[in-house]
Amino acid sequence: MNTIIKIAYAEDHTLIRKAIIEYINFYEDCNVVADENNGKELIDKIGILECAPDVCILDISMPVMNGYDTIIYLKKSYPKMKFLVLSMYDTEFSVIRMIRNGANGYLLKNCDPADLHQAIVDIYFSGYYYDDIASEGAFKKASINDIPTLTKKELEFLSLCCSELSYAKIAELMHVSTRTVEDYQQHIGDKLNIHSRMGLALFAVQNGLVSLNG
């Protein structure tokens, strides 16, 4: 029997939501079981379903309850549920915040339609989909022996790296110069072979170096 991936979707632009639902349902391995205008409505809808969805697609900017708050609530209530962010926001900070909140994947709304289906499948079966940083190896679930030793300061930087703080603000909190903060990223990046801030944030969350919502 073929696997059918049950999908929930929250998006406040009705035309966009309906078009994407039609596209998703075109695939035989996908079925949208809930779609609502915002996070609060989606939470209420999921609560009355007989079976929780496998993958939840969320916009970030929505009325009543945005994507940031919605993913935190659903992650706590449905630990096995996986999350794909589909948004127009492409800033590093918005991606990092959603990673920290528990997102398993992130796509822009102007992506190729085929990428959306691929993201859903990858998230369901392997747990993650971040196309632009996947090549760095940021998804690797490392054993404790495979993670290089990081200094106390490097771990502090890594935690702050997973926030929405600028490097200037991180430097201020760590009582070091901005150049020193950049050196921390370089040193950690060399150890892990991951050189983008988003990649470091994903690796840190994936391997428990930084707690979700911490």
- Apex CA 20: angle with CA 26 and CA 59, to 5°? 140
198: closest CA among 209, 185, 187, 179?
185
Name all domains of the chain by residue range, CATH numbers in brackets.
Answer: 5-131 (3.40.50.2300), 152-206 (1.10.10)
**How would you label 139-166 residue by residue, b for 16+ Cβ within 10 Å and e otherwise?**
bbeeeeeeeeebeeebeebbbbbbbeee
Tally Cβ neighbours within 10 Å of residue 4. 13
Query: How many angstroms separate the CA atoms of 82 and 97, rounded?
Result: 16
Write out pLDDT tens, residues 71-117: 999 999 999 999 999 988 767 778 888 888 889 888 888 888 899 99
* Confidence band, pLDDT 50/70/90 cuts, at residue 138: very low
- Apex CA 196: angle with CA 203 and CA 177, to 5°? 105
pTM, entire model: 0.80
